[in-house]
């Protein structure tokens, strides 16, 4: 008889006792017996959140073995891969190994199905037995190990029309394009900051789709290097090279590009600190600023906007929006440009 689990997984929280799994310090990652509402998976690959992986690589001086050691330490200490320095996790792909008795009739999953988790590794009980390969330039790590999804957890079956590691890479940031889809209206001027990477380019694509031919998608990239991937994208109207942490200089560039009108919607997909004001300044009054970036400070955004008397609606980029996985996988199907680019960037031979 399996033990009865809590829908949100609080039965796995070791400390502190009142926490939900995401905010908990430590989770129980002993899977010798699962609870009746859990899905146990054999994990194949972890996709580590970009901010977290940059932090780990920096601490490891770019040495893959040291990266492995840091990751093993995190999981041994916390029972999950929540980098304590960034607070973020990532996602995994794996094979369903066991489905709790209470869930069997409620799910169309069967043992052996390959899935991508759509909840963060920062709340997912995980055990790593061995690290097989660290893909340093992709933020993906092949492992032997297991993880548990809770009843409230979300997942998607891996599509069979694209490589697994491509699906994993885009699923990590699936919320971004889905948020853009909700926030952008036809004719809008939309700026995407941090446009060169995964969430940035997906956001540009969806922004153009929603803003339409009368709208304008402005892609803001950090530096000249790698700019061509954005400049060549058929869904980007204008590329600006600018740093969001140099807010006034960025404002001048966006003023020039918009005849002083600024943007209806700004999406921040950056990975570094102090970019809040760059995003806020380039939005027009009563515009929308969505912070998808994990490096966002609520205090800096709220007090910063107040400090300059800027009345904008600020939105925290929830990693989950209903339908986000399907919308993002469909972008990979619809956009040959993005599919080719992301295949080059993120597809590995493993597992």
Ligand X SMILES: NC(=O)c1ccc[n+]([C@@H]2O[C@H](COP(=O)([O-])OP(=O)(O)OC[C@H]3O[C@@H](n4cnc5c(N)ncnc54)[C@H](OP(=O)(O)O)[C@@H]3O)[C@@H](O)[C@H]2O)c1
Distance of alpha carbon 203 from the chain centroid: 12
Give the residue with the Cβ less far from ligand X, 43 or 201.
Answer: 201
d(CA 49, CA 47): 6
Interface characters, 39-78, with ligand X (x: CB under 6 A): ----------xxx---------------------------
Annotate 280-332 with three-state secondary structure.
HHCEEEEEEEEECCCCCCHHHHHHHHHHCCCCCEEEECCCCCCCHHHHHHHHH
Largest Cα span, the chain: 68
CB of 62 to ligand X, least distance (A): 15
d(CA 153, CA 76): 22
Closest CA to 348 of 167, 202, 197: 167
Give the residue with the Cβ less far from ligand X, 181 or 245.
Answer: 245
Residues 282, 268 contacting (CB under 8 angstroms): no
Give the residue with the Cβ less far from ligand X, 107 or 274.
Answer: 274
Q: Specify the DSSP class assigned to residue 5.
A: P
Q: Is residue 275 close enough to count as binding ligand X by CB under 6 A?
A: yes
β-pair partners for 91: 47
Q: Is residue 215 close enough to count as binding ligand X by CB under 6 A?
A: no
Binds ligand X (CB under 6 A): choice among 45, 258, 293, 328: 293
Q: Is residue 252 close enough to count as binding ligand X by CB under 6 A?
A: no
Angle at alpha carbon of residue 310, lines to 306 and 313, rounded to 5°: 95
Give the residue with the Cβ less far from ligand X, 122 or 146.
Answer: 122
d(CA 336, CA 338): 6
Q: Is residue 243 close enough to count as binding ligand X by CB under 6 A?
A: yes
Residue position matching structure tokens 């899935």: 115
Distance of alpha carbon 275 from the chain centroid: 18
Of 77-85, 153-161, 255-263, 288-296, which segment contacts ligand X by CB under 6 A? 288-296
Which helix H or strand E contains 171, and what residues bound it? helix 164-171
CB of 318 to ligand X, least distance (A): 7
Interface characters, 145-174, with ligand X (x: CB under 6 A): ---------------------------xx-
Closest CA to 195 of 227, 167, 232: 227
Give the residue with the Cβ less far from ligand X, 151 or 197.
Answer: 197
Q: Is residue 222 close enough to count as binding ligand X by CB under 6 A?
A: yes
Give the residue with the Cβ less far from ligand X, 40 or 56.
Answer: 56
Query: How far is CA 68 from each of CA 41, 166, 340, rounded to the nearest angstrom?
Result: 21, 22, 29
Q: Is residue 223 close enough to count as binding ligand X by CB under 6 A?
A: yes
Q: Is residue 193 close enough to count as binding ligand X by CB under 6 A?
A: yes
CB of 120 to ligand X, least distance (A): 7
Give the residue with the Cβ less far from ligand X, 41 or 193.
Answer: 193
Q: Is residue 89 close enough to count as binding ligand X by CB under 6 A?
A: no
Q: Is residue 141 close enough to count as binding ligand X by CB under 6 A?
A: no
Q: Is residue 276 close enough to count as binding ligand X by CB under 6 A?
A: no
Binding site for ligand X (CB under 6 A): 49-51, 88, 172-173, 175, 193-194, 196-200, 222-223, 243-245, 269-272, 275, 292-295, 317, 319
């Amino acid at each position: 008889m399996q033990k009865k689990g809590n829908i949100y997984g609080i039965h796995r929280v070791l400390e502190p006792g009142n926490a939900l799994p995401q905010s908990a310090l430590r989770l129980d990652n002993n899977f010798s017996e699962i609870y009746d509402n859990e899905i146990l998976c054999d994990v194949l690959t972890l996709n580590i959140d970009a901010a977290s992986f940059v932090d780990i690589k920096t601490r490891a001086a770019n040495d893959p073995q040291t990266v492995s050691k840091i990751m093993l330490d995190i999981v041994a200490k916390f029972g999950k891969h929540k980098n304590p320095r960034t607070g973020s996790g990532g996602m995994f792909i794996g094979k369903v190994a066991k489905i709790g008795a209470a869930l069997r009739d409620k799910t169309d999953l069967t043992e052996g199905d390959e899935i991508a988790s759509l909840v963060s590794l920062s709340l997912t009980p995980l055990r790593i037995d061995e690290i097989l390969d660290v893909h340093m330039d992709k933020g993906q790590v092949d492992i032997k190990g297991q993880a548990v999804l809770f009843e409230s957890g979300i997942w998607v079956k891996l599509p069979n029309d694209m490589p697994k590691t491509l699906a994993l890479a885009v699923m990590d940031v699936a919320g971004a394009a889905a948020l853009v889809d909700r926030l952008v209206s036809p004719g809008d001027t939309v700026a995407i900051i941090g446009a060169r990477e995964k969430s940035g380019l997906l956001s540009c694509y969806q922004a153009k789709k929603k803003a339409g031919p009368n709208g304008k998608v402005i892609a803001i990239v950090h530096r000249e290097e790698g700019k061509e991937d954005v400049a060549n994208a058929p869904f980007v109207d204008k590329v600006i090279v600018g740093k969001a942490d140099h807010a006034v200089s960025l404002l001048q560039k966006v003023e020039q590009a918009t005849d002083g009108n600024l943007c209806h919607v700004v999406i921040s997909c950056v990975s570094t600190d102090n970019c809040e004001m760059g995003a806020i300044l380039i939005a027009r009054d009563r515009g929308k600023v969505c912070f998808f970036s994990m490096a966002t400070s609520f205090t800096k955004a709220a007090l910063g906007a107040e400090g300059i008397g800027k009345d904008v609606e600020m939105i925290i980029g929830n990693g989950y929006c209903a339908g986000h996985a399907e919308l993002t996988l469909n972008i990979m199907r619809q956009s040959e440009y993005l599919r080719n680019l992301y295949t080059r960037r993120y597809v590995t031979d493993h597992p």
